Amino acid sequence: MSPARRGNGIGLPRGPQALPREAVAAHQRERLFKAIVEAVNEDGFAATTISDLVSRAGISRRTFYEHFHNKEECLLAAYDAIIERLTRRLIDATRSADDWTEQLEAFIGEMFNAVGDRPDLARLVCVEMGAAGPVGVQRWAEGSAVTQSFITEGFRRAPGRGTLPDPVARAMVGALRKILYSRVRSEHSSKGLHAELLKVLPDLVGWIALYYPSPEGIPIRPRRRHSRRLVGGRAPGTLSPPSLMGTRGLPRGDHNLPRGFVIFNQRERIFDAIANLTATKGYSALSLEDIAAEAAVSLQTFYSHFANKEDAFLATYEVGHAKSIGLISQTLAGQAGGVAAVRASVSALLEFLASEPSYAHLACVDVLIAHPRVANRLDEANAFYAELLTLLIGNNAPSPPSPITGEAIVGGVFELLHDYILRGHTDDLPELADHIMYIALTPFMGSEEAWAATKASA
Q: Which of 322, 353, 347 is nearest to 332 (CA)?
A: 347
- Contact in structure between 56 and 39 (CB atoms under 8 Å): yes
pLDDT at 314 over 60: yes
Q: Which CATH architecture has domain 1-68?
A: Orthogonal Bundle (1.10)
Amino acid 244: pLDDT:
38
Domain residue limits, the chain:
1-68, 83-214, 259-457
- For residues 265-274, give the mean pLDDT: 92
- Contact in structure between 347 and 335 (CB atoms under 8 Å): no
- How many C-beta neighbours within 10 Å does residue 404 have? 22
| Top mean-pLDDT range of 95-109, 268-282, 289-303 | 289-303
Amino acid 440: pLDDT:
95
Amino acid 249: pLDDT:
57
Fold match between 83-214 and 259-457? Answer: yes
Rounded to the nearest angstrom, the gap between the alpha carbon of residue 189 and the centroid of all alpha carbons in its chain is 23
pLDDT at 302 over 90: yes
pLDDT at 209 over 80: yes
Give per-residue pLDDT as tens, 85-127.
Answer: 999 999 999 888 778 888 889 999 999 999 999 999 999 999 8
Give per-residue pLDDT as tens, 408-431.
Answer: 999 999 999 999 999 999 999 999
pLDDT at 193 over 80: yes
CATH (one of 2.60.40.1080, 1.10.357.10, 1.20.1340.10, 3.30.230.10) for 83-214: 1.10.357.10
The pTM score is 0.87
pLDDT at 438 over 90: yes
Q: 346-352: long-range contacts at Cβ-Cβ below 8 A with a sequence spacing of 24 or more? A: 346/433, 346/436, 346/437, 346/440, 347/430, 347/433, 348/324, 349/324, 350/429, 350/430, 350/432, 350/433, 350/436, 351/227, 351/228, 351/229, 351/230, 351/430, 352/230, 352/323, 352/324, 352/327
- Cα gap 337→345, rounded to integer Å: 10
Q: What is the CA radius of gyration of the chain?
A: 24
Amino acid 226: pLDDT:
57
pLDDT at 233 over 50: no
- Contact in structure between 447 and 372 (CB atoms under 8 Å): no
- Convert 75-98 to b/e letters by CB count within 10 Å (16 or more is b): bbbbbeebbeebeeebeebbeebe
Cis previous bond, 251, omega within 30: no
Q: Which CATH architecture has domain 259-457?
A: Orthogonal Bundle (1.10)
Give per-residue pLDDT as tens, 28-68.
Answer: 999 999 999 999 999 988 889 999 999 999 999 999 999 99
- Cα gap 421→284, rounded to integer Å: 18
Tell me the longest C-alpha to C-alpha distance in the chain. Answer: 82
- For residues 202-218, give the mean pLDDT: 92
What's the count of helices (H) and strands (E) in the chain, helices before strands? 19, 0
Q: How deeply is 160 buried, as exposed, middle or buried, from its count of CB atoms within 10 A (0-12, 13-18, 19+)?
A: exposed
With a pLDDT cut of 70, the percent of the chain lying above it is 86
